[in-house]
Chain A
């Protein structure tokens, strides 16, 4: 049971490049989310999903896309990276039967 996994751990992009941050969980959790962490701002919700095929926007969705084709995977896509997207990204999952969210180890993204 690996929990929530994220790849890559580190990534450097140039402005305008696109990429996908991967997130997977093996706990059969219905709920999955993406957060970004910036200094002095805590974590802010980007997008979330309540099940396969269902996604919705969080607090800071602009510049990001998500999809949830399977229960296990919840990739986050940056279509055209901007320096403002330099951040640490965390994926999280939760079972509908519990309260706690389980977080992945994070992806540190730098956009130059």
Chain B
């Protein structure tokens, strides 16, 4: 069975603070993909990143960075110098390679960035 846990229901930070969103996953598959999506107040789902299970390199994109650790089954997301526009719900998701369409989502973390 596949499962994604985002233990942080809600996080509040002040602008310019760094914040890390945790994601822990469970799967018995050896090949899988991990994703992060952002859902701003407008409601659409915005794709942020995809990571393959066989590629443990961390990735940085501007103020965003992702730390994938297979040993702890975690795929954490850090926002550096947060901004008010980062306020959103962030979802971590897992898709086993054999299931072309089955994304398993975590419950999401609400991030509130205050000015």
Contacts and interface: CB of A to CB of B under 8 A. Distances in A.
Contacts, number: 60
A105 to B, nearest CB: 5
B33 interface: yes
Interface residues of A, number: 26
Contact of A99 (B33, B91, B105, B107): B33
B108 interface: yes
A31 B100 contact: yes
Given A99-B33, A106-B43, A42 B102 contact: no
A100 B101 contact: no
Contact of A43 (B6, B9, B100, B105): B105
Interface of B: 4, 6, 9, 33, 35, 37, 43-45, 47, 50, 52, 91, 93, 95, 100-108
Given A40-B108, A50-B101, 14 more contacts: A31-B100, A32-B101, A40-B107, A42-B93, A43-B105, A45-B101, A45-B103, A48-B102, A50-B100, A102-B47, A103-B44, A103-B45, A105-B43, A106-B45
